[in-house]
Amino acid sequence: MNKPSKIIAVETGVHTLIPLCQLLKSPRNVRKVPHTKDAIEAYAASIAAKGILQNLVVEPELDDRECPTGRFYVTIGEGRRLGQCLRVERGEITDDEPIPCVIDTVNDPHEISLDENVTREAMHPADQFEAFRTLNEQQGMSAEDIAARFGVNIRIVRQRLRLGAVSPRLMQDYRDGKLTLEQLTAFCVSEDHARQESVYDGLTEWQREPYYIRRQMVQGHVNADDRRACFVGQTAYTEAGGHIERDLFTEDGEGRFTDPVLLEKLALERLTAVAKTVQQDEGWIWAEAYIDFPYIAGMRRAFPKVVALSAEDAVALEVAKAELETLSEEYADFDYSDLPVDVDANMSALEAEIVRLQALASAFDSDDIARSGIIVSLIYDGSVKIERGLIRAEDVQPEHKAVDSTTDEGGDGGDYRDDQETDREGDDDTVTAPSLKLADGLIRDLTAHRTVALRLALGEQPEIAARALAHVLVLDTFYDDRSASCLEIRPVSTDLAGWMEDYAQSSAVEALQVRHDTWAERLPEPDALWPYLLAMEPEDLGLLIAHCVALTVNVVRQPFAIRSAEPFAEDLATSLSLDMGAHWRPTARRYFSRVTKGHIVDAVREAVSDEAADRLSKLKKPEMAEAAEHLIAPTGWLPPLLRVARSEPEPGNVTYLSDHKA
């Protein structure tokens, strides 16, 4: 319960203590935008640690008769008042806490409020660094302690303390206004003062952008999220003598691997060990390891076949699925981050067990293993990719096909032999080896009639036609055996590995390969394919056809090629709502270093601004390409060749997917 208000003398210039409950927000305070929650928290933390160091300036509230009411409007110090009110809410103080104030009835409240907010200058970050470092080193305060005592965001405190990594020479230039704070912090990705000063001295006026400084400081280093670094790991790398340079302004502090040659060597050694282990465990005749999956033209593929699970494994699979489904339903309303730790671990273990058991339902034939090998490589996220069942040309067994007994060489000359042919009779007067050969001309005539009839019938049964289409597509796509189908449809799938930059690192290539391998594992032997397709559900059949058809797409533009298919390629991309921004982004290496400076300037002008383009135009080509990559990265800009119309455009009004101006 509030205590009775105490009437305070209202003479101007009086320094007095006024209960917090008698202080009000002034309607004449020039600050109309409310204090942020963080700002009020900062005031509360600072006052709790040190008290109110600067008096509030107040004016008395007057009633209708111009008499003091005993309450006061806060002209200067509203943030401090709100900080104390927050402490009341938290139970740290009571609402009659005495607040040091100065009563001012002479100056205009509006003017002095404006003066308080305008005629002050924030502390220079370099001075903040020195002050925070003194508290840290001499008084033993941690970054958390300093943040709490001064109401400053702990990230700001940590960044100020980390300025200790910068060269004293660069710090002085920063104080003298020759460097900005962003430029100074860019040098702090490394604690090597000599390196900092060397890079600093080599910069031209147009190279002082923070991103360029940071790139120069870490040139030749490998990011911690590089697939090789993720695969090898920091511990193995440092134990082998490698050094990791910590990025002082990255929260996770993962840093950069400074010896890419050592990192590559370690990654290849580990991949080779994986390849040898898999080869020995599974019996492949050869195994090779690469960082990037190599171009394998000339190799054939064998795929695993579906096999029945053992009774024990089948039961275990059903139990694991049921348990996972029960947990999923029980915690359906939980966000992933809110799941109890034990439940999260249990669900992850069940998912892993389901994947393991399902993998047992497919296996390679021993004959395929005896003539095939494996290639082990890294995909974009540092995971190991094992391609099994690769058959080299020298390991392909020659196939001896039986001669077709229904045909003869020599064309219609066979008619004479047929006319002279007689049945050979055995002792029991039964026919043992009848000669039923027909003349080639007659065979062609009869089978042409059959072809016409089949065409007529198939054209009247679209479902069977779709399955026949799937049959020829699958034979060509998965078995490389077109001859087993009577449909004269010849799908062609052009290998793009030789035409793409970073083919092995493309997430789209990886996803396509996973989808292909998943289908390959489901399909039976070629001679059992037609019954399999006849029994396939329409939805699965459609997806299988879609995959096979998708592999025939080719929109690679060649200088000598006829471009009559390009309009359909545009229509197809639009119908699919293709978003190239999800699969490709313009970088210095992929794009900007491969186009003219004029292209780069135009791209930056379109994606960012005229001012940014004008600044870039004065750079040399390598620096321009690097700068363009960083400027354009947040915009989603794509080259015109990769843009896709969103919908049917109206004349003069075309919009594009992944276009930053859309």
* 28 vs 610, more confident: 610
Tokens of 57: 């300036």
Whether 87 and 95 have beta carbons less than 8 Å apart is answered as no
Whether 93 and 52 have beta carbons less than 8 Å apart is answered as no
Whether 19 and 95 have beta carbons less than 8 Å apart is answered as yes
User: Rounded to whole angstroms, how far apart are CA atoms 533 and 470?
Assistant: 8
Residue 90: the pLDDT is 92
Q: Which domains does the chain have, with CATH numbers?
A: 15-118 (3.90.1530.30), 279-395 (no CATH), 458-553 (no CATH), 568-657 (no CATH)
Whether 635 and 607 have beta carbons less than 8 Å apart is answered as yes
* 293 vs 141, more confident: 293
Residue 420: the pLDDT is 42
* DSSP-based helix, strand, coil % in the chain, nearest 5: 50, 10, 40
pLDDT tens digits along 500-558 = 766 666 778 888 888 888 888 888 888 888 898 998 898 889 899 988 888 888 888 77
Angle, vertex CA 50, rays to CA 45 and CA 54, nearest 5: 100
Element (H, E) at 160: helix 154-162
Name the H helices within 425-563: 440-458, 462-474, 507-522, 529-535, 538-550
pLDDT tens digits along 266-279 = 999 999 999 999 99
Residue 291 DSSP SS3: coil
Whether 315 and 513 have beta carbons less than 8 Å apart is answered as no
Phi, psi of 89 (to 5 degrees): -60, -35
User: Rounded to whole angstroms, how far apart are CA atoms 579 and 637?
Assistant: 12
Stretch 290-296: mean pLDDT, rounded? 78
pLDDT tens digits along 198-232 = 888 887 777 778 877 877 776 767 778 788 888 99
SS3 assignment for 322-385? HHHHHHHHHCCCCCHHHCCHHHHHHHHHHHHHHHHHHHCCEECCHHHHCCCEEEEEECCCCCEE
Confidence of residue 419 (pLDDT cuts 50, 70, 90): very low
**Does residue 567 have a pLDDT over 90?**
no
pLDDT tens digits along 459-486 = 888 888 888 888 888 888 887 666 778 8
36-45, 115-124, 548-557, 633-642, range with greatest mean pLDDT: 633-642
**Does residue 144 have a pLDDT over 80?**
no
242-251, 311-320, 578-587, range with greatest mean pLDDT: 311-320
Stretch 96-121: mean pLDDT, rounded? 74
Residue 425: the pLDDT is 44
Residue 661: the pLDDT is 39
Question: Which of 262, 257, 266 shows the shortest CA–CA distance to 226?
Answer: 257
pLDDT tens digits along 147-161 = 666 656 666 666 666
**Does residue 121 have a pLDDT over 90?**
no
Taking the model in full, what pTM does it have?
0.45
Tokens of 78: 């509203």
**Does residue 398 have a pLDDT over 80?**
no
* 9 vs 363, more confident: 363
User: Rounded to whole angstroms, how far apart are CA atoms 30 and 121?
Assistant: 18
Percent of the chain with pLDDT over 90: 13
β-partners of residue 386 are 376
Average pLDDT along the chain: 78
Residue 24: the pLDDT is 92
Residue 654: the pLDDT is 43
How many other C-beta atoms are found inside a 10 Å radius of the C-beta of residue 371? 17
Confidence of residue 422 (pLDDT cuts 50, 70, 90): very low
Q: Is 376 exposed, middle or buried (0-12, 13-18, 19+ CB in 10 A)?
A: buried
Tokens of 293: 């999956």
Phi, psi of 423 (to 5 degrees): -70, 145
Stretch 37-62: mean pLDDT, rounded? 85
* 119 vs 372, more confident: 372
What are the E-state strand segments in 177-279?
A: 222-223, 244-245, 256-257
Residue 147: the pLDDT is 65
Whether 359 and 317 have beta carbons less than 8 Å apart is answered as no
Confidence of residue 319 (pLDDT cuts 50, 70, 90): very high
What are the E-state strand segments in 366-437?
A: 373-378, 384-391
User: Rounded to whole angstroms, how far apart are CA atoms 587 and 575?
Assistant: 28
Residue 138: the pLDDT is 67
Whether 475 and 529 have beta carbons less than 8 Å apart is answered as yes
Residue 407: the pLDDT is 43
Stretch 613-631: mean pLDDT, rounded? 86
> Could you tell me how many residues make up the chain?
662
